[in-house]
C-alpha cells in the first residue's frame, strides 16, 4: 500500500488545464466554524449497508491504528452515524514551522500519520536544499510541542510516502550521473523518535531514465523486505516501463519488466497487498485507468493488466485511486477513488466524486469499474467539495480536507472536510461558504492533510495540518496545526 505521490497534484493541474490553482493558501486564521452540512452535495447509498462486523477490539476510545470503533458483533457501542464537526480546539492555529528566509521557502506536499490521538507526524516535502522534514507534533498539552528531522541533500526529490508496520516511510530519489537515480526509503516507526534521521534503505538503482517521470509504489512484505514497483520513462525516447522487484537486507531490488509501452505514461500508483498478490492501480495523463495483478515474489509470472472504467458521470477530467488498505473485516480491502468530471458544456469542472468503501478481496481480480466501490459522496458544485487528491484511509475511516474550487479556477475562502466510513456511513462533513471550516484563509492554502485523534461512535477528533503562504513575506510558507472536534 502507498499514498498517492506528489505527482497527484501535478497531474490534476495538467488534466484540468485552465484551472490556475489546485489548492490556494492560508492566512488570517479564525476559529469560527459554522453548522454542519454539505451544500448541494448528494450522498450515494452503500450496497453493503451496515458495518461489516469483525472489529478490532479498540473500543470507542479510537486507537490510532485506524480501525472502526464499533464491530457490529454484539458490543454495547452505539451504531456509527454522522457527527457534527464544528469545534476547533486551539484558539488560533499553532505554527509548526516558518519557511520565511529559508531555502526552499515553501512546502510542495504534506502527508499526515497518527502515532496516537495526541501525537501526529507530518512528512513535509520541500524538494530543495532540504528534501523533506518530518515533524512530530505532540498536542497533549495546552500548547503543542514539536520535534523534527530533515534530509538536507541537494537534488533529491520525494516520490511519496507509504505505510509500514507501526509507522510510515518516505520514498526519495537521488540523482546519479546524467540519467541515473537511486531510490531509498526512510522508515519512521511510531515507537522511535523522529530524530536522528533514520538510515536510508536501498530500494532501486536506475540508469538511462528521465528523473522527472519517475514513480514508485512500495509495499512492506516483512521487516526489511519490500516489494518495489518502479514506473520509468526512457531518457532519450518516449518509452515507459513498469518494473518490479524485491529489495531486502538493505540491497536494492533486481527488476523485471512487467510492461513497456510508448503510450502508457502511468503515474499515481497505489499498491494493495492481498494474499500473495499485489494489485497496482495507476492513472495516465489521458485519464485512462488500469490495474495490474502481480505476484508478490517480485516476478511477472502470470501478470494481469486490466483497464478500469470510471463512474461515467460525464467527461472525466481526472480519475485516480487515492488509497487502498486492508479492511477491518476478514476478506475486505478498502479502496478510495477520486473522479473529477466536466460540466455539460465540457469546458469546466462540473463535479467531484469520492468513493471510499470496502470491497471483497475475491472481487479484486475482476474489479474493472470503480462503480464497484459502492459508497461515496458526489459534489455537483466543486466549491463545496474538498478539491484535493490527498485523501487517505486510516483503517476504515477515509478523510479528506481542502478548500473547494471556484468557478474562476481559484480556491474558496473556506475549507471543506469529508469523513467517510468504508462500511457506508458519512461520519462527518463541513462544506460551503456558511458551513465550511476556517473561513477567510482557504485562498492561501497550498496543501492540507488530516490524521485521526480519538475516534468513537459519539465523539471524535481530527488533527489538521496545512501549509499556508504569506504574501507579506514573499509568499513563504508556514506550517500550521489545529484539532477539529466532532460530536453528536
- Summarize pLDDT for 326-371 with one digit per residue, the tens: 999 999 999 999 999 888 888 888 899 999 999 999 999 999 999 9
- Mean pLDDT lowest among 24-33, 249-258, 262-271: 24-33
382 vs 363: CA distance, rounded Å? 31
pLDDT in tens, 274-304: 999 999 999 988 778 999 999 999 999 999 9
| pLDDT computed for residue 314 by the predictor | 63
Question: Element (H or E) spanning 481, and its range?
Answer: strand 476-487
Quickly state the pLDDT bin for 190 (edges 50, 70, 90). Answer: very high
| pLDDT computed for residue 349 by the predictor | 85
Question: Element (H or E) spanning 7, and its range?
Answer: helix 7-16
In the predicted model, what is the mean pLDDT of the chain? 85
* Higher-pLDDT residue of 103, 383: 383
Question: If we measure between CA atoms, which residue out of 391, 406, 247 comes closest to residue 325?
Answer: 391
- The answer for residues whose C-beta is within 8 angstroms of residue 100's C-beta and 6 or more apart is 470, 473, 474, 476, 478
Quickly state the pLDDT bin for 77 (edges 50, 70, 90). Answer: low
Mean pLDDT in residue range 209-216: 94
| pLDDT computed for residue 344 by the predictor | 80
Alpha-carbon dihedral sign for residues 174, 177, 179, 181: negative
219 vs 290: CA distance, rounded Å? 19
Rounded to two decimals, the pTM is 0.86
| pLDDT computed for residue 313 by the predictor | 63
Question: Residue 21 pLDDT > 50, yes or no?
Answer: no
Residues in the chain: 488
Burial 370-404 (b: 16+ CB within 10 A, else e): bebbbbbbbbbbbbbbbbbbbbbbbbbbbbbbbbb
Mean pLDDT in residue range 98-111: 94
| Residue 406, C-alpha cell as written in the block | 471556484
Rounded alpha-carbon distances, angstroms, from residue 101 to 96, 105, 152, 156, 476: 16, 7, 16, 21, 8
DSSP E strands in 249-331: the ranges are 256-261, 267-274, 277-283, 289-295, 304-308, 316-326
pLDDT in tens, 153-186: 767 999 999 999 999 999 999 999 999 999 999 9
Within 13 Å of residue 350, how many CA atoms lie on the same side as its CB? 13
Amino acid at each position: 500500500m502507498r499514498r498517492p505521490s506528489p505527482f497527484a497534484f501535478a497531474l490534476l493541474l495538467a488534466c484540468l488545464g485552465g484551472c490556475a490553482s489546485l489548492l490556494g493558501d492560508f492566512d488570517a486564521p479564525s476559529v469560527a466554524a459554522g453548522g454542519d452540512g454539505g451544500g448541494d452535495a448528494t450522498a450515494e447509498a452503500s450496497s453493503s449497508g451496515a458495518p461489516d462486523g469483525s472489529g478490532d477490539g479498540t473500543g470507542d476510545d479510537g486507537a490510532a491504528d485506524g480501525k472502526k470503533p464499533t464491530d457490529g458483533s454484539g458490543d454495547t457501542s452505539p451504531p456509527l452515524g454522522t457527527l457534527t464537526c464544528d469545534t476547533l480546539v486551539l484558539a488560533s492555529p499553532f505554527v509548526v514551522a516558518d519557511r520565511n528566509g529559508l531555502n526552499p521557502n515553501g512546502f510542495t506536499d504534506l502527508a499526515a500519520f497518527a502515532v496516537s490521538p495526541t501525537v501526529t507526524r507530518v512528512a513535509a516535502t520541500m524538494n530543495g536544499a532540504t528534501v523533506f522534514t518530518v515533524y512530530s507534533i505532540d498536542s497533549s498539552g495546552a500548547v503543542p510541542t514539536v520535534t523534527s528531522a530533515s534530509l538536507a541533500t541537494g537534488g533529491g526529490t520525494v516520490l511519496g510516502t507509504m505505510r509500514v508496520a507501526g509507522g510510515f516511510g518516505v520514498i526519495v530519489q537521488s540523482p546519479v550521473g546524467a540519467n541515473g537515480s537511486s531510490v531509498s526509503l526512510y522508515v519512521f516507526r511510531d515507537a522511535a523518535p523522529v530524530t536522528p534521521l533514520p538510515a536510508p534503505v536501498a530500494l532501486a538503482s536506475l540508469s538511462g531514465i528521465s528523473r522527472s517521470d519517475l514513480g514508485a509504489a512500495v509495499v512492506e512484505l516483512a521487516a526489511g523486505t519490500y516489494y518495489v514497483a518502479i514506473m520509468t520513462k526512457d531518457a532519450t525516447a518516449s518509452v515507459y516501463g513498469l518494473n518490479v522487484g524485491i529489495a531486502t537486507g538493505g540491497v536494492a531490488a533486481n527488476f523485471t519488466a512487467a510492461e513497456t509501452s510508448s503510450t502508457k505514461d502511468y503515474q499515481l500508483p497505489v499498491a494493495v497487498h492481498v494474499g500473495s498478490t499485489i494489485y497496482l492501480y495507476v492513472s495516465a495523463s489521458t485519464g485512462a485507468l488500469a490495474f495490474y495483478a502481480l505476484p508478490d515474489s517480485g516476478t511477472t509470472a502470470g501478470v494481469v493488466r486490466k483497464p478500469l472504467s470510471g463512474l461515467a458521470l460525464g467527461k472525466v477530467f481526472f480519475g485516480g485511486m487515492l488509497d487502498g488498505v486492508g479492511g477491518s473485516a476478514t476478506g475486505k480491502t478498502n479502496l478510495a477513488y477520486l473522479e473529477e468530471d466536466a460540466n455539460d458544456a465540457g469546458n469546466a469542472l462540473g463535479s467531484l466524486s469520492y468513493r471510499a468503501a470496502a470491497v471483497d478481496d475475491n472481487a479484486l481480480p475482476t474489479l474493472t469499474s470503480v462503480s464497484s466501490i459502492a459508497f461515496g459522496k458526489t459534489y455537483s458544485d466543486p466549491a463545496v467539495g474538498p478539491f484535493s487528491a490527498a485523501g487517505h484511509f486510516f483503517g476504515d475511516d477515509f478523510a479528506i480536507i481542502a478548500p473547494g474550487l471556484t468557478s474562476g479556477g481559484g480556491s474558496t475562502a473556506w475549507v471543506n472536510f469529508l469523513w467517510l466510513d468504508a462500511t457506508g456511513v458519512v461520519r462527518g462533513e463541513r462544506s460551503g461558504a456558511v458551513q465550511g471550516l476556517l473561513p477567510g484563509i482557504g485562498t492561501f492554502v497550498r496543501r492540507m492533510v488530516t490524521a485521526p485523534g480519538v475516534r468513537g461512535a459519539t465523539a471524535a477528533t481530527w488533527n489538521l495540518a496545512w501549509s499556508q503562504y504569506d504574501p507579506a513575506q514573499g509568499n513563504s510558507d508556514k506550517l500550521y496545526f489545529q484539532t477539529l472536534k466532532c460530536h453528536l
